[in-house]
Structures are given as C-alpha cells and as structure tokens.
C-alpha cells in the first residue's frame, strides 16, 4: 500500500530531482501530476514538488534534501527502506 504521493508535473526539473532523491532513499511513492486535478493545481502550483504522507496528511515541500527527508520521516514516525545518502 502506498503511503506517499509525490506531486509534480511534466517538465519540472525540481520534480525530477526530488523523484531521484526519494528513489535513492528507497522510499515507495506514487507520482501525481497536478495538472490532472484542478484542486491539486490550485494547492500545489507554485509549491511543487511536494511529498505527501497520506495517513497523517503531513507534507514536505520543496526545497528538500536528504537530511530534510530524513527529518520528515522521523517526524511522522516512518523509516525509509534504506539509508538516505547525504
């Protein structure tokens, strides 16, 4: 069961960077294109990429790096699948 969504859109280089960072971390997530939903467009248009933890509703907005992702996972009580590289 996926518990993370990564909001972004096509052509967003920051979204691609975030995706690669999360993949290196071993974090399982589903990508969501904000252009597919008007509410997502309104909520996230100038904030993407955004990582959403579904059970808690907690969000981690850009900019983030490996350390901020680690801190976010600790804050919400989730451990990543592997150590996030620095």
CATH number of the domain to which 19 belongs: 3.40.30.10
pLDDT band at 78 (very low <50, low <70, confident <90, very high): confident
Is residue 86's pLDDT more than 70? no
Q: How far apart are CA 45 and CA 30, in angstroms?
A: 18
Is residue 41's pLDDT more than 50? yes
- Please report whether residue 81 resides in a domain: no
Is residue 51's pLDDT more than 70? yes
pLDDT reported for residue 80: 56
**Looking at the 3D structure of the chain, how many domains does it have?**
1
Q: What is the CA radius of gyration of the chain?
A: 12
Is residue 85's pLDDT more than 60? no
Is residue 35's pLDDT more than 80? yes
- Please report whether residue 60 resides in a domain: yes
- Please report whether residue 55 resides in a domain: yes
Its pTM stands at 0.88
């Amino acid at each position: 069961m996926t518990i993370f969504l990564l909001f972004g859109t096509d052509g967003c280089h920051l979204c691609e960077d975030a995706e690669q960072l999360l993949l290196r971390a071993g974090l399982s997530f589903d990508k969501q294109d904000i252009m597919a939903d008007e509410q997502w467009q309104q909520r996230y248009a100038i904030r993407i990429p955004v990582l959403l933890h579904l059970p808690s509703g907690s969000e981690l907005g850009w900019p983030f790096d490996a350390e901020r992702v680690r801190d976010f996972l600790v804050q919400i009580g989730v451990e990543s699948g592997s150590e996030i590289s620095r």
